Structure 1
Amino acid sequence: MITFFEAINKAKNYLAEYDVPVEITVIDRFSEGWLFCFQSREFLETGDFSTQLIGNCPFIIDKDSGKIYELGTAYPLDIYLKEYENKKNKTQC
């Protein structure tokens, strides 16, 4: 099991792979781990829509394994979270 601070560091390392500076915009804890959303730093500072990231899917860091799971962007976030929780519950049975 990993701590919140370990999850934050893991998320920052994961986001360091982007070619542009990005900032975590949302962190939400749920029963299976932490959900992270992010956006380009420039967009957050200027609001210039041309600097927004495209396809920057939220991701989960699993509290038990520390694995990163990328979610999608085509559907509402709730659908991806339910899908993730269902898959995790099935593997634990």
Structure 2
Amino acid sequence: MLTEQEVIQIAENYVIERSQKSGLNLIILEDRCIKKPYGMIFRYNTKKYNETRNDDDNTLLGNAPFIVENSNGKIILFGTGREIEYYIKEYEAGRWPDMPRLSDFQ
């Protein structure tokens, strides 16, 4: 079982990697983290949006929330098409991320 600090470090490393690939200054939105018995759910965005919380600065696409499981450090990405509560419910029911995708049928 990973400690909370180890889980946070894994999340920070993931966001740093995304930041380097995109060329954007991305950070975890610390006030929007959700602690669960199985891990932590993180959201991230640009540093500018975090500072202003102005919707005009929320120009980042594809920044899906993600879980870092505290049992093994695995990162599981959620989607962006629905509210986060939907993805949490699906994950807790054991249906996420193993749901059929459109690409599975093509």
TM-score (ref. length: structure 1): 0.82
1:16 is paired with a residue whose SS is helix
TM-score (ref. length: structure 2): 0.73
Deviations 1:10-62 (A, max 9, x none): 11110012221112112110121100011100222343725531121100000
* Cα gap change, 1:49 to 1:80, in 2 (>3 Å): same
Partner of 2:40: 34
* Residue segments in structure 2 that go unaligned for 5+ positions in a row: 96-106
Contact 2:64 2:80 in 1 (8 A): yes
Farther off after superposition, 36-45 or 59-68: 36-45
* Residue segments in structure 1 that go unaligned for 5+ positions in a row: 89-93
Q: CA deviation at 1:2?
A: 0.7
Partner of 1:81: 88
Contact 2:48 2:57 in 1 (8 A): no
CA RMSD of aligned residues (A): 1.8
2:43 is paired with a residue whose SS is strand
Contact 1:34 1:60 in 2 (8 A): yes
- Partner Cα distance (1:45, 1:31) in 2: 29
Q: CA deviation at 1:77?
A: 0.9
Structure that is richer in strand per residue: 1
* Alignment length (residue pairs): 88
Identity %: 34
